[in-house]
Structure 1
Amino acid sequence: MNFDIPTAMQLAATMTLVVGAGLAFAASGYPPSLQRTINLWVRGLLLQPAAFVMYALRDHIPDLLSIVAANTLLMAAFAHQMHALRKFNACPDRRGMLAMLVVTTLVGTTLMTWVWPTLGGRTVLVSLAIFALGLLGVIGIYSSRGTRSRPEHLLAVLLGIGMAIMLVRIVSAPTSSALSVVTYSPLQGVVFTYASLMPVLATVAFFLMCGDRLNADLARLAMLDPLTGVYNRRTLDDLGRRAVADARRAQRPLALLAIDIDHFKQINDDFGHEAGDLALKALVERLQLELRAGDLISRVGGEEFVVVLPGVDETGARSLAERIRSRIGESTFAIDGAHVPLRVSIGAGAISPAADDFDNLRQATDRALYAAKRGGRNRVVSVSALDAT
């Protein structure tokens, strides 16, 4: 087989440079949260062409460039990309470890080139460093919580292949210092074929990961109220109907709370709309302290919220509503140094023969809320008490 390693390295340098430059331009279209990790990845990608060119010129430039600088640049490039991968999945920061691998490569290749010249030693050192970087990347993919996307699995497989090749390379390290890193052998052919293809394939996988994350973030944002971060009305309609259907199927209770901030317009008029926004956020924070993880909170209007309580009957819902009203009534929020009181009115209802679907239950709970407002505010009215009058 006629495989010219310098030519392969020149081709890899060209492809990596073109892909890196193109993606550096494309990264500006991503949101800032993804731009930071993409820029790290692209920075690593753009470090690789210089290393590949130095490898290709192994017999034509000084060892300082073709050995020490080339290997160190390659390690720095991989370190940037593994840091980007770990940052993407919010893994613990391992920049110190990554930097140590780069410095070890620099010092080790320097010593093994001029002090104790040994191609086999350099091969083992560089292969171990690449293996360690790949391992940090794989751990970064699988150590975070949540499900893994297919592009993440693909990137893990690509890293795993590289790690396996490095292990074989360590075992088969050349013993003769007369050999050159660009001298062809079947193993060298595999190593440099992988080195030529890996930057492009890994970058495709990484950008597919970013695309999946962007789509997931957009889908999540479409479900949420942008100010308070709780579900919006459209999402409530969908999740609420599902929750009621599940409760009826399992013959379990389900309750709703309709919550409205008292005198909200006055807060806006007296302190400005910023105060109104703070009041909405303060209410959500206090609700989250009182509710369970499986309860659903939604903002359905300007200052009105609905809470879905699976497994809770009306008695339990009223008791919870009284506790929420009391806790909120005891608190204030600050605006421009002034402590502004926060009060709420609450309607409480549960699934019943008269309110056997989500829409009917919403309407019944809303009527109870309006009764609480008409009755003087800062109080709880249940649907059953309303029906009894």
Structure 2
Amino acid sequence: MILDIRTILFFTSLNSCITGIGLMAASLSYSDSLRKSMYVMGRGSLLLMAGMLFVVLRESCVSPLFSITAANFFMLWGGGELYQALRIFDGGEPERRWTGTLAVLLTLVNVFFYVVFDILQVRLVVLSLGISVLAGLAGLKTLRSSSVPDSRVRITSSLSFWLLAFVFALRAGGTFFPDGNPAGIFENSVWQTFIYALASIGFTLMNFSFLLLCNDQFNHHLGQLALTDPLTGLFNRRAFTDMALREMACSSRSGEPLSLIMIDADGFKNINDTYGHAGGDRVLQHIAALIKEKVRPHDVVGRLGGDEFAVLLPGADHATALGVEERLVTAAMEYPAPFKEWKIPLEISAGSASLNLISPDFDDLLSRADDALYRAKGQRQ
């Protein structure tokens, strides 16, 4: 079945407009990089829509030269925004200099091949390959994204960008075959009907799969918030307890030692009274950073509440834990917490205990480490 090409292009642009506006509206429900990336993706869809509309309006409302210039520039600019949206989504900064330059250069090339050498096939190849490259880069960026842990969501979303890249690459390659080498852009043929209908599907899948990608990242963030202390970024008490129980089960099976260190900031009330709660928060963040820096990457660090921290040391016996204790106490004294124009002096107390492998019990381990902490705190006073 052969459909009118203008009709297909019109409904494709209308579809891009609706899904683009939908993405921009949905972005209001999100925050930070998600909101910005969704807004840029929606804007890219609107720019692509504008480019296709200029194609549809050619020779009816606007001159051919203006139509070619505007259509090429807006479609290539929109394709560049797809890639920029994925950069922002993954926590990067937009790099519009090179995508903008590409849009301008390829537009000028196509204007040249209209004004000087009126060769439709060249213009189709240049525009199609430009969009194909930009959509392919967006698909690659999606697949490599470190912001979404679910590989199935990444693969699904990247496939939608690669489908769009494939369609435009097919449009470029098809110009070298008789059926794909039209005398005019609006010539009704099976080939053009197939290509532009497939492009319409590709645009729809691209926007909806990107929304799926953003939703997955948002859900991942919600899951992280349920496990993380918002001030320090460490595990909260619930998550730390769950991790400790898992590590204890592993130690019981393997016979490997396991130790727990409890840490408390000395004189924290005085810090709050002197520097205010903002100063106290800064101290807690500083202590958390010091602990993370001084322990091993696979050690588990949590904030149990207030100024109380805990470190779980898989594979470490009590002697090793005492060495880590000493390292942490020394580091706190050597590195005061920066706050505004001040350096807030720090002292911490620490106590440790090792897991009883014969009768492993988390409450017992926590209680013995807590007793050691308060003995250390009493000695410091």
When normalised by structure 2's length, the TM-score is 0.92
Matches within 5 A, 1:255-266: 255-266=259-270
Q: Paired residue for 1:380?
A: none
* Aligned equivalents of 1:173, 1:265: Cα separation in 2: 76
1:174 Cα deviation after fit: 5.9
Contact 1:9 1:52 in 2 (8 A): yes
Partners of 1:336 and 1:326 lie apart in 2 by: 23
Name the amino acid aligned to 2:233.
Answer: G
Deviates more, 1:12-21 or 1:140-149: 140-149
Within the candidate set 139, 150, 165, 2:152 is matched to 150
1:143 partner amino acid? R
CA distance in 2 between counterparts of 1:63 and 1:227 reads 59
Q: Deviations over 1:239-265 (max 9, x none)?
A: 111111111111111100000011111
Contact 1:296 1:307 in 2 (8 A): yes
Provide the aligned C-alpha RMSD in A: 2.2
Contact map agreement 1:261 1:342 (CA 8 A) in 2: yes
Q: Spell out, residue by residue over 1:186-234, the C-alpha distance to the aligned partner (whole angstroms, 9 max, x if none).
A: 3212221122222221110000000000000111122111111111111
Q: Distance in 2 between matches of 1:355 and 1:325?
A: 30
The 3 A distance-change label for structure 1 pair 370 and 178 is closer
CA distance in 2, matches of 1:166, 1:18: 21
1:328 to 326, 332, 352: 332
Residue 210 (structure 2) aligns with? 206
The one-letter amino acid of 2:121's match is G
1:73-222 residue pairs with structure 2 within 5 A?
73-90=74-91, 94-145=95-146, 147=149, 149-173=151-175, 179-222=183-226
Q: Distance in 2 between matches of 1:209 and 1:325?
A: 44
Q: 1:357 to 1:175 in 2, by over 3 A?
A: closer
Aligned to 1:184, the other structure's residue is in SS state: coil
1:289-327 Cα deviation digits (max 9, x unpaired): 211111111111211101011110111001110121122
Distance (Å, rounded) in 2 between the aligned partners of 1:277 and 1:84 = 34
Displacement of 1:365 after TM fit?
Answer: 0.7
Distance in 2, Cα, partners of 1:272 & 1:203: 47
Deviations 1:36-68 (A, max 9, x none): 111111111122332222222334241123322
Q: Are the equivalent residues in 1 in contact too, given 2:329–2:350 (CA < 8 A)?
A: yes
Match of 2:65 in 1: 64
Classify the secondary structure of the residue corresponding to 1:255.
strand
Query: Match for residue 376 of structure 2?
Result: 372
Structure 1 partner of 2:28: 28
Q: Percent identity over the alignment?
A: 31
- In structure 1, C-alpha distance between the alignment counterparts of 2:345 and 2:292, rounded to whole Å: 19
SS of structure 2 residue aligned to 1:227: coil
Select the residue among 223, 230, 234 that pairs with 1:226: 230
Q: Which amino acid aligns with 1:79?
A: G
Classify 1:362/1:188 alpha carbon distance in 2 versus 1 (closer, same or farther; 3 Å): same
62-71 or 167-176, larger mean C-alpha shift = 167-176
- The gaps in structure 1 that reach 5 residues or longer are 378-389
| 8 A Cα contact 2:139 2:160, kept in partner | no
Is it true that 1:287 corresponds to 2:291 in the alignment? yes
Moved more, 296-305 or 154-163: 154-163
Give the conservation status (yes or no) of the 8 Å contact 1:119–1:175.
no
- Mapped partners of 2:289, 2:374: distance in 1: 24
Retained in 1: the 8 A contact 2:8–2:193? no
What residue ranges of structure 2 are gaps of 5+ in the alignment? none
What's the offset of the Cα at 1:71? 2.1
CA distance 1:138–1:239, shift in 2 (3 Å): same
In 2, are the aligned partners of 1:233 and 1:299 still within 8 Å (CA)? Answer: yes
Query: In structure 1, what residue type is equivalent to 2:167?
Result: I
Counterparts of 1:22 and 1:331 in 2: how far apart (Å)? Answer: 50
Deviations 1:104-148 (A, max 9, x none): 221011111111110111111112212211221122123344745
Aligned counterparts of 2:231 and 2:103: Cα–Cα separation in 1: 44
Count of aligned residue pairs for this structure pair: 377
Look up the match of 1:345.
349
Q: Which amino acid aligns with 1:41?
A: M
Q: Distance in 2 between matches of 1:334 and 1:90?
A: 27
